[in-house]
């Protein structure tokens, strides 16, 4: 009887061991500014939370961290890259946004030059690729939602409908 129990225990352990890699939690980080953070909508309505819910509803064991900060620039995203994207992250969804183009406090040009913006973006992508983290670009999808009129009264920030639209378009890119 003890030998039989040992065999059953061994078989169950093997089967559980085979199942664990499929059930491991996948870590996705949404890195961006206000349209990632969800300015003007609840945190559960922002596209990172909606995307997580959609993936989980499809049986995916995934967590999507919302690392969006309203007003952030590519320089800010670069500066916080290590703290926002922990080890074990498998995918980063990038929303560089348009805050680099805002005018400075004196109204004398953009906060960041186009060259500096390109360099920041290249450094972010390079670091993520060096760490073997897959990247997905969200800017075009967010801009499409904005162009389709899914924006709040400010004409910049997405409505809850816009966030759902973005998540729906990203889901196929992150599966």
User: How many Cα atoms occupy the beta-carbon half-sphere of 152 within 13 Å?
Assistant: 13
pLDDT at 104 over 90: no
Q: Is 135 inside any structural domain?
A: yes
Q: Is 16 inside any structural domain?
A: no
We report the CATH number of the domain holding residue 74 as: 3.40.50.1110
Q: Is 21 inside any structural domain?
A: no
Give the pLDDT score at 12: 40
Contact 96, 73 (CB under 8 A): no
Looking at the 3D structure of the chain, how many domains does it have? 1
Give the pLDDT score at 11: 40
Task: Report, as an integer, the average pLDDT of 46-72.
Answer: 96
Contact 43, 66 (CB under 8 A): yes
**Global pTM value:** 0.83
Give the pLDDT score at 17: 41
pLDDT tens-digit readout, 5-55: 444 444 444 444 444 344 578 999 999 999 999 999 999 999 999 999 999
pLDDT tens-digit readout, 149-160: 999 999 999 999
Q: Is 115 inside any structural domain?
A: yes
Q: Is 14 inside any structural domain?
A: no
Domain hosting 65: range is: 31-174
Please provide the size of the chain in residues. 175
């Amino acid at each position: 009887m003890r030998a039989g129990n040992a065999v059953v225990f061994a078989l169950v352990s093997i089967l559980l061991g085979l199942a664990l890699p499929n059930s491991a939690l996948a870590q996705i980080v949404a890195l961006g500014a206000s349209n990632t953070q969800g300015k003007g909508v609840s945190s559960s309505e922002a596209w990172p939370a909606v995307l997580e819910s959609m993936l989980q509803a499809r049986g995916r064991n995934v967590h999507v961290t919302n690392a969006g900060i309203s007003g952030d620039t590519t320089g800010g995203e670069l500066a916080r890259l290590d703290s926002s994207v922990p080890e074990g992250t498998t995918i980063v969804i990038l929303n560089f946004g348009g805050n680099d183009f805002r005018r400075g406090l004196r109204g004398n040009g953009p906060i960041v030059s186009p060259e500096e913006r390109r360099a920041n973006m290249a450094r972010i992508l390079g670091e993520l690729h060096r760490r073997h983290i897959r990247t997905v670009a969200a800017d075009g999808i967010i801009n499409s939602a904005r162009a389709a009129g899914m924006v709040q009264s400010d004409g910049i920030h997405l409505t809850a409908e816009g966030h759902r639209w973005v998540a729906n378009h990203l889901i196929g890119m992150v599966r």
